[in-house]
Amino acid sequence: MPANKKLLVLPGDGIGPEVMREVLRVIDWLDRRRKVTFDLEEGLVGGAAIDAEGAPISDATLAKARAADAVLFGSVGGPKWDGLPFEKRPELGILRLRKELGLFANLRPAIVLDALADASSLKKELVRGLDIMIVRESTGGIYFGEPRGIETMPDGRRRGVDTEVYTEDEIARVARIAFELARKRGNKLCSVDKANVMQSGRLWRAVVGEIGRSEFPEVELTHMYADNCAMQLASRPKQFDVIVASNLFGDLLSDLAAALTGSLGMLPSATLGAPDSAGRRHALYEPVHGSAPDIAGKGIANPCAQILSFAMLLRWSFGLEEEARLVERAVERVLAGGLRTADIMQPGMARVGTTVMGEAVVREL
């Protein structure tokens, strides 16, 4: 564990700064009560960076991200910047960060806390206790493969092209992260592809199988077609523990899994890069939700997704498992105690704003 934990905080736009403020309370608590001290730096990203620095992320901020042990990201975007051309939009801030830091493995837990089992789109008994981790490859596949574009053919008709490309090392590195996770959890991994109709899917299935047999023989590996996986997630989600999928399938399946939990304001994520020779890896942590312009500035955003993203940071970037569990349990207990922000409000519960929720988490800690 590095002596100096360097953390870059990028609150971004909309509710980003509002929910980040509550994380800073948690960090302050850790500092005072557990002697976990962070070297905190703050930077601008997204629309906030466009307004102040002329670009969605400056080279100086990128350099700080590279030098940090972990990046805690809020969210970017909003109507103010919607008219800008694609190359200038706030979202480019997060895309550049992922690319420059080589963040290829996106970890999205879908957890149904007992207190929120009612929020799911599924029947309570199907989701109670649900705890799935979806590992999505996030720098390759069809969102980046060449050739891509819209072209006009000689006869004047237009043609749109995207290409799904995966090399075996791209598959192997994300598979290893998924297997490692499976080993720490239920020793069960489901790899998702369309090996029946896609060549990249055939290679995906072969490489994941090889890594499993040679490096993780104790993990029970199953393969599932992506369409079937969507159906299984929506009907019997508790059969899954860890799922690994390509960029495209992981995008769809992780949103589906998020819907099963029914509470966007509760969902954290981590995106990890490859470890260097010293075992240090770049990593970025952010809530699944966006900048929620419809409620920004009202003080009613749910800070839990951002706080739980910080818990993932404690676990994945610093190995502080005990502290991560403390933070997660504090959130669970605040909910069990009946406090709710507007997005997860239920009959008979006490409706509170962002600050009261954050303060309650710290009190529970």
Judged by the rule CB under 6 A, the positions of this chain that interact with ligand NAI are 15, 19, 75-78, 91, 94, 264-265, 286, 289-295, 301-302, 305, 341, 343
**How many secondary structure helices (H) and strands (E) does the chain include?**
12, 14
Name the residue nearer to Mg ion (CB basis): 17 or 250. Answer: 250
Closest CB 23 distance from ligand NAI, rounded Å: 12
Given the residues 13, 241, 251, 343, the one annotated as active site: 251
Residue 166 designated active-site? no
Q: In the beta sheet, which residues pair with residue 285?
A: 72, 270
- Give residue 198's identity as a one-letter amino acid code: M
The answer to whether 271 and 56 have CB atoms below 8 angstroms apart is: no
Residue 169 designated active-site? no
Q: What x-and-dash track marks residues 254-283 binding Mg ion by CB under 5 A?
A: -x----------------------------
Closest CB 268 distance from ligand NAI, rounded Å: 11
Size of the site for Mg ion (CB under 5 A): 2
Phi, psi values for residue 46, rounded to 5° = 75, -145
Would the annotation count 70 as a binding residue? no
- How many Å apart are CA 17 and CA 234, to the nearest integer? 34
Residue 184 designated active-site? no
Would the annotation count 17 as a binding residue? no
Residue 31 designated active-site? no
Neighbour-count burial of 230, counting CB atoms closer than 10 A to its CB (0-12 exposed, 13-18 middle, 19+ buried): middle
Given the residues 99, 143, 188, 225, the one annotated as active site: 143
Neighbour-count burial of 110, counting CB atoms closer than 10 A to its CB (0-12 exposed, 13-18 middle, 19+ buried): buried
Q: What x-and-dash track marks residues 232-251 binding Mg ion by CB under 5 A?
A: -------------------x
Given the residues 13, 166, 194, 241, the one annotated as active site: 194
- How many Å apart are CA 276 and CA 214, to the nearest integer? 22
Residue 28 designated active-site? no
Name the residue nearer to Mg ion (CB basis): 27 or 272. Answer: 272
Closest CB 250 distance from ligand NAI, rounded Å: 15
DSSP 222-247: EEEEHHHHHHHHHH-GGG-SEEEE-H
The residues assigned a catalytic role are 143, 194, 227, 251, 255
